[in-house]
Amino acid sequence: MSKFRIAPSLLSADFARLGDETREVIAAGADWIHFDVMDNHYVPNLTVGPMVCEALKRHTTRADGSQALMDVHLMTTPVDGLAAAFAAAGADIITIHPEATLHVDRTLGAIRAAGCRSGLAFNPGSPLDLLEWVIDKVDLVLIMSVNPGFGGQSFIDASLRKIERARRMIDASGRDIRLEVDGGITAETIGRAAAAGADTFVAGSAVFKPADRADAIRRLRTALAPFDKPRHAEGDDTVSLPAGIGALAGSLA
């Protein structure tokens, strides 16, 4: 099984038919569904909330009965209450930005306590130093290769150095942590991100803009093929059912 995961971002989908769009990209070969949450405070845009996540969850089932993971990226402040709500709504992974909470360690731990995998996201101008101190509570590191807030932006080349450093930190930890990159991912840029150490790729316009989504995803996988040496176990996409809002809210009390 490939070590790479492709996570189409619903930010680039047709919001009038999100259920159909979700089913279509999963049928086309998507591994995860990336769900961008923006509050018009942390970033200058406003998207969707937990009710939409819950409604889309039933559309993530593949033809073989397995489920694509719902990968929720919270670009909000404050973040703790929404993390609780998304855990209850069926998120499998919840990623936060360290600037959005006063207690990063506690928030990450609480996300896990709710039955979700925890992720930590770093903007282009954010240093990675904090990761060293919370890496034991992180299941995913997300490197933003654009400034967050809008889809369709160009890949920031300086992000490659950050991906390389994050890969070294993850490998040194000995932990099974996904390294995701988000922003400007196309068939032309995905190989460079993989060479730098990323194994999970958020792609918006590159997947949703073409009429043939299966061909778009194949193009991404073809670009990844030279770098595809297994690192993770084949069972790493097993869905963990969230314990619900109570566990997370209690941990944050």
CA dihedral 210, 213, 219, 223 (to 10 degrees): 110
CATH of domain 5-252: 3.20.20.70
pTM for the structure as a whole = 0.90
Quick: pLDDT tens for 219-240.
Answer: 999 999 999 986 554 445 644 4
What's the whole-number mean pLDDT along residues 194-209?
98
CA dihedral 167, 171, 172, 173 (to 10 degrees): 110
What's the whole-number mean pLDDT along residues 199-211?
97
pLDDT for 147: 87
DSSP track, 138-191 = -SEEEEESS-TT-SSPPP-TTHHHHHHHHHHHHHHHT---EEEEESS--TTTHH
pLDDT for 154: 86
What's the whole-number mean pLDDT along residues 120-140?
97
Q: How many C-beta atoms surround the C-beta of residue 30 within 10 A?
A: 25
Give φ, ψ of 215 to 5 degrees.
-65, -40
Say if residues 97 and 74 touch (Cβ distance below 8 Å): yes
Residues designated catalytic? 36, 182
Quick: pLDDT tens for 37-61.
Answer: 999 999 999 999 999 999 999 999 9
CA geometry: angle 36, 37, 43, nearest 5 deg? 105
Q: Which residues are annotated as a binding site for substrate?
A: 9, 73, 149-152, 182-184, 204-205
Quick: pLDDT tens for 142-164.
Answer: 999 988 766 667 899 999 999 99
Give φ, ψ of 69 to 5 degrees.
-70, 140
pLDDT for 231: 59
Q: How many C-beta atoms surround the C-beta of residue 71 within 10 A?
A: 29
What are residue 167's DSSP bridge partners?
none
Q: Where residue 71 falls among pLDDT bands split at 50, 70, 90?
A: very high
